[in-house]
Amino acid sequence: MAVLPEDEPLSIPLLLAAKGQERIAMMTAYDAPSAALLDAAGIDVLLVGDSAEMTVYGEPNTLTATMDAMVRHTRAVSRATRRAVVVGDMPFLSYQAGVEKAVENAGRFLAEGGAAAVKVEGGRRILPAVEAILAADIPVMGHVGLTPQSYRKFGGFKVQGREAESARAIADDAKALAEAGCFALVLECVPDSLAAEITREVPIPTIGIGAGAACDGQVLVFHDVMGFTRGHRPKFVRRYADLATVIEQAARAFTHDVKSGAYPSREESFSGTKPPLRRVHSKSPSPCGRGA
Ligand code: KIV
């Protein structure tokens, strides 16, 4: 049964009501034009992920993300979004270093970034921050399993919860976050059996990434889905487009046309009979159509 309307803005209560009724589609977005396309295509949740550090800025991990950059990306995504719930990803050390700072930083995602909620990585050890953010009426999405901000501790981007003890710890973290009042949980790179167990046991939607099919929803990174980047592709990624080839071919064609003189044509040029005699200052729009 469809719980999430196709043509009305979604909300946190609607996402909660979708548990067990309708699967949630979530994708990362970092800028206004791609957010507008994803929103129009029916993606339910746009996550402004700190994965922007890797996908947009070419960093090897997410640890370099800053509050200012994340809020700026969130604002761009929010401005272009009509239906989806926009979630801002709190960067490394923006919520781990003190509860007051955590609330202040979370608030920036809503007040300046226009987000509906924030996402934080970690379980019981970050509960004081989660509780304080929730007490400020800021909805929180949790994230357990492979939490990329802890990749140094894990020794790399590795599947978590394969052994009984670590699986228990992840399940306990998930339950603690749900009991604290998080509205959804990302389960990243955990065995599908563990994700299924957590999905059964928590009353909030689980959104999987490399966590199997039993989750209440799925999230992938925009650049992976669209085939924007080449190189290593994690096992769980399904590529739905080959933007890398499309962009490379377009860039080659443009380069060819510039070098051969085929671009621009007369139709792509401005005509004028007389050169201007003197510079005039005008407030009229630029003839190039992109503003003065
Ligand atoms: O930053 C991100 O893109 C994420 C997703 C992988 C869930 O946290």
Q: pLDDT at residue 281 above 80?
A: no
pLDDT tens string 245-279: 999 999 999 999 999 999 999 999 999 877 666 66
Instruction: Answer whether 146 contacts ligand 1 (Cβ < 6 A).
Output: no
Q: What are phi and psi of 75, to 5 degrees?
A: -60, -40
- The yes-or-no answer on residue 188 being catalytic is yes
Instruction: Answer whether 191 contacts ligand 1 (Cβ < 6 A).
Output: no
How crowded is residue 67: how many other Cβ atoms within 10 Å of its Cβ? Answer: 19
CATH class of the domain whose range is 12-244: alpha beta
What is the CA(49)–ligand 1 centre distance, in A? 5
What is the CA(128)–ligand 1 centre distance, in A? 22
pLDDT tens string 75-131: 999 999 999 999 999 999 999 999 999 999 999 999 999 999 999 999 999 999 999
Reported pTM: 0.93
Q: Choosing from 22, 53, 121, 188, which is the catalytic residue?
A: 188
In three-state secondary structure terms, 272 is: coil
- Mean pLDDT estimate for the chain: 95
Which residues does residue 48 pair with via DSSP β-bridges, in sequence order? 88
Which residues does residue 245 pair with via DSSP β-bridges, in sequence order? none
pLDDT tens string 210-245: 999 999 999 999 999 999 988 889 999 999 999 999
Domain boundaries, the chain: 12-244
Let me know if 291 is exposed, middle or buried by CB neighbors in 10 A (0-12, 13-18, 19+): exposed
